[in-house]
Structure 1
Amino acid sequence: MQVQVILKNKTILICCIFQLANEKGVTLIGPATVGGIKPGCFKIGNTGGMMDNILSLKLYRPGSVAYVSRSGGMSNELNNIISQNADGVYEGIAIGGDKYPGSTFVDHLLRYEMDDRVKMMVMLGELGGVEEYKVVEALKEKRLTKPLVAWCIGTCADYVTFEIQFGHAGASANAKAETATAKNLALKEAGAHVPNSFDDLGDEIAKVSNC
């Protein structure tokens, strides 16, 4: 009974925070996020790692690639991949791995779409949930027109024959449409640049960046 009360009160609190943020025009990132980074301006939380990593990846000055990721650890990997295959990161946000994040992929991609300093965008989604399909719709409706490289991690789950929870609270596919494979296909059909695997993500970013 006590657990149910705690969960109910937490849900009410989260809903109140989301509503207040909308009323104030504030963008929330998280919960369960390492933060974000805007090279040359600021960083939030642990994004980017230690100073030696920030220097080696040139995260002290802006590039023209903006990304959004669910995973904080993978956002740091994106910093590395983008620095090696394009002119660097303009802004990067990890929205967090919970089922109900304070902001979504499409929220940040639409911000990047409106910023002339962003030349291309990268999205790293994952299996579970349907937030990536909002990006699919935005692509189809031409609300997102800048080049978008996208990949949803978790395709290995196709080979698991029983239900399993992968890492994040939201990383569990309860329907075929929630699988990483289905999302990658939908994104590609909508016009995103989708590599054949995560291993090819850097090459895809380089190809789009050089166009």
Structure 2
Amino acid sequence: MSILIDENTNVLVQGITGNEGSRAVKLMQEYGTKVLAGVTPGKGGQLVEGVPVYDTVKEALENHPEINASIVYVPPFAAKDAVFEAAANGLNLVNCITEGVPVRDAADMVSFSRQNNSVLVGPSSIGILSPGKSRLGVIGGLKEMVGEIYRPGEIGVISKSGGMTNETAWVVRQAGLGQSTVVGIGGDIIIGCAFADLLKLFENDRQTKGVVIFGELGGTYEEQIADLMKEGGFTKPLAAFIAGNFTEQMPEGMSFGHAGALIQGEKGRPKHKMKLLKEAGAIVVGNHDELGEAIKKAI
């Protein structure tokens, strides 16, 4: 098995005619992902890499009713409407790649998606990849690289950082392991799927024997993992690396990189996150390249 996407995932690309959207289509097709249609208002009737373009999600679904997932490549000001349109039309999974989405819009996107029983991954996600089955987005990069880093296996991978998603999957491969599903959740303050949400899915996935995470300073998403583990909601081995120890001496209120990497009191600091995760039973490593061997020993 896997979580979120598999060989039966049929994809709609919102914003398909833009540079990022069209590039993603090509890379997804190379991996074998079934990209059935795209949407760009006012561009209906065009073809992008052989994929038909429609003006609305409704029109795309009327012509391709088997579509069950959407990936969003639209400008920040249009992201909210795109996610709303996908969720309102019954798509079970929406992966929002768009960066720079206003916080209020992101909050509305998360709320609307939940009301419509649609799983939202992102915004600011790099994508989702279930090795050998399907990928959403450019996660993994070119065909040669994605085949080297990603192999079918038993380890789930979740990363706040888009850039470190591939790196984290790679340390799993270096330990001689493969991945079940790899998810870039995005590093914004408000995101659709946090670590804990995905761990619940991995808990019920027979293929997944353990999970590794790349966390960061700021927010409370890592703390939520500790709560979930203490409650018995995730019982499989978990290895974690929390980036940002250099910020421990920085004053409260400073922001670092991602919008969600904001120090606000003790809770958002890496050492606090690491302490809670250890107390909950997670394996917390001091160096990122130790993640692979740590989870290998634990499963």
Query: Residue 90 of structure 1: which of 152, 156, 180 is its match?
Result: 180
Q: Could you say what the CA RMSD is over the residues aligned between the two structures, in angstroms?
A: 1.9
1:18-48: CA deviation from partner (whole Å, max 9, x where unpaired): 2331133221111111111111111111111
| Alignment TM-score, normalising by the size of structure 1 | 0.87
Amino acid at match of 1:40: G
Aligned to 2:138: 46
The answer as to whether partners of 1:65 and 1:86 remain within 8 angstroms in 2 is: no
Confirm or deny: 8 A CA contact 2:177 2:296 kept in the other structure.
Answer: no
Tell me whether 1:19 sits opposite 2:111 in the alignment: yes
Alignment of 1:187-198 (within 5 A): 187-198=277-288
| Bigger helix fraction | 1
Change in CA separation of 1:13 and 1:169 when aligned onto 2, cut-off 3 Å: closer
Alignment-derived partner of residue 147 in structure 2: 55
1:57-88 CA-partner distances (Å, limit 9, x unpaired): 2x2x4211001111111111011111111421
Aligned-pair CA distance for 1:178: 1.0
Q: C-alpha displacement at 1:97, in angstroms?
A: 0.9
Work out whether residues 35 and 47 of structure 1, in 8 Å CA contact, stay in contact via their aligned partners in 2. yes
Written as runs of structure 1 = structure 2, the 5 A alignment for 1:31-180 is 31-57=123-149, 59=150, 61-160=151-250, 164-180=254-270
Taking the aligned partners of 1:97 and 1:38, their CA distance within structure 2 comes to 21
- Structure number with the bigger relative contact order (C-alpha 8 A, sep ≥ 6) is 1
Match of 1:181 in 2: 271
Contact preservation (8 Å) 1:127, 1:153: yes
CA distance in 2 between counterparts of 1:157 and 1:11 reads 24
Q: Structure 1 residue 207: deviation in Å?
A: 2.1
Equivalent position SS for 2:212: strand
Counterpart for residue 208 of structure 1: 298
Q: Which runs of 5+ in 2 are unaligned?
A: 1-101
Find the aligned partners of 2:294 and 2:207 in 1 and give their Cα distance: 21
Q: Deviations over 1:175-209 (max 9, x none)?
A: 11210111011101110011133343233133224
Q: Name the amino acid aligned to 2:220.
A: V
Query: Letter of the aligned partner of 1:81 in structure 2?
Result: V
Q: What is the TM-score when the length of structure 2 is the normalising length?
A: 0.62
Extract unaligned runs of 5+ from structure 1: 1-9
CA distance, structure 2, for counterparts of residue 164 and residue 129 of structure 1: 12
- For the Cα contact (< 8 Å) 1:36–1:47, is it kept in 2? yes
* Identical-residue share of aligned pairs (%): 33
